[in-house]
Chains A and B, each alone.
Chain A
Amino acid sequence: MIYHALLFVLAVLTAAWAVMARSLLTSAIMLALVSVFASLLLFNFNAPWAAVFELSVCAGLITVLFIGGVSLIRASLEAAGENRLFLRLLPLALAIFAIAAWFYLPPFFTEMTGWRYIAEDTGPIGTVLWQLRRPDLLGQIAMLAAGVFVIKSVFPKRRAAK
């Protein structure tokens, strides 16, 4: 339980750091750390498949995408500057929310546990992924195709000037 709580606290702290960091590269790296803590939490929930996907895709691929994107535009972003007033207020806003939520949310969530329905045994994740949720796989392929289409239409092939 202490390990579980520690992971949640670290995830929240690194998320706040990712939002508040002055440098966008630091933000991207802190976001990767949030993903690492989230994947450790998923392992702790006994959900290893989701944890492995989270670790490889979110902490790996998405971080590379962010760092690539930031590197392409960093110089002009730093030259332009950014209004950071509201970002600096995040710890205060988070503290107020955390204290207020401590009184209201846990009793509500505890009440929610009484509404649960225990699911029937669906078998291992392979059965769920390849049989029960097969349309999801088609949706994933469609999403990936849509992503490729968006990137291809945003960056069309340049035609040589006649």
Chain B
Amino acid sequence: MSVFAFDWYFIALLLFIGFYAMLASANIIRQLIGLEIVTKAAMLAVISAGALTNNLPLAQAIVITMIVIEVVVVAAGLALLVKNHRLSGLADIWKLNSLKG
């Protein structure tokens, strides 16, 4: 098995764990943790592909952009979670109705 295939096999396992967390739990924090795991898998996939095609500088530049986006998404998600929790006392993804304007 090539190194690339070996890496991507484990990246697929990480993706599975992330998507499973997002599907199996209604808790917003676990959903965000699942999203983080999926993002890390995507990041490793980009760098692995960059290493394969001898294009690591470009892959690193894309990963840096991904990290910035990741931070903003997590901060916004946690802000919505805290706001929803203040209004309804819940952290359930299916009960975000209290945020309706």
Decide if A and B are genuine partners: yes
With a cutoff of 8 Å between Cβ atoms, the chain B residues found around residue A112 in the complex are 4-5, 8
| Bound complex: CA A72 to CA B78 (Å) | 10
List residues of A (25-43) whose CB comes within 8 Å of B's CBs.
27-28, 31, 34-35, 38, 41-42
B29 in complex: contacting residue of A8, A42, A70, A129, CB < 8 Å: A70
Mask: chain B, 86-97; 1 = CB below 8 Å from A; 0 = not: 000111000000
Q: Is the CB of B79 within 8 A of A155?
A: yes
Known: A42-B47, A128-B61. A118 touches B54 (CB 8 A): yes
Known: A18-B33, A45-B47, A136-B65. A105 touches B17 (CB 8 A): no
Q: Is the CB of B57 within 8 A of A50?
A: no
B40 in complex: contacting residue of A5, A34, A47, A119, CB < 8 Å: A34
Size bin of chain A's contact surface = 35 or more
Mask: chain A, 136-151; 1 = CB below 8 Å from B; 0 = not: 1001100110110011
List residues of A (73-98) whose CB comes within 8 Å of B's CBs.
73, 76-77, 80, 82-83, 86-87, 89-90, 93-94, 97-98
Give residues in A with beta carbon < 8 Å to B.
1, 4-5, 8-9, 11-12, 15-16, 18-19, 24, 27-28, 31, 34-35, 38, 41-42, 45-47, 49-50, 53-54, 57-58, 61-62, 65-66, 68-70, 72-73, 76-77, 80, 82-83, 86-87, 89-90, 93-94, 97-98, 101-102, 105-107, 109-110, 112-113, 116-119, 122-125, 127-129, 132-133, 136, 139-140, 143-144, 146-147, 150-151, 154-155
Give residues in B with beta carbon < 8 Å to A.
1-10, 12-14, 16-18, 20-21, 23-27, 29-30, 32-34, 36-37, 40, 43-44, 47-48, 50-65, 67-72, 74-76, 78-83, 85, 89-91
